[in-house]
Amino acid sequence: MLKWLVSIVIVVALLGGLQPLLARYLPLGRLPGDITVQRKGQRWYLPFTSTVLMSLLAWLILRWL
């Protein structure tokens, strides 16, 4: 159990660190269905479609393993 937890933490940390590089090549957050709201100088992102696609991808990977 501890190995899985450590593995998950490492993967999340790596993806967090690589996020600026990945954002350049993957349009996550800018897909149709993702909402951007800008009010009073603040910008809010609601990535509905991106979340569904990432959840589907995670489910397929876990199903395959």
Task: State residue 39's pLDDT score.
Answer: 92
Domain ranges within the chain, ordered by starting residue: 2-64
Are residues 57 and 28 in contact, defined by beta-carbon separation less than 8 angstroms? no
The token pair that represents 38 in the structure block: 């800008």
Task: State residue 15's pLDDT score.
Answer: 74
| Tens digit of each residue's pLDDT, the chain (65 residues) | 788 888 878 877 877 777 777 777 877 778 888 898 899 999 888 888 888 888 888 888 878 87
Q: How far is 64 from 46, CA to CA, in rounded Å? A: 29
Task: State residue 5's pLDDT score.
Answer: 83
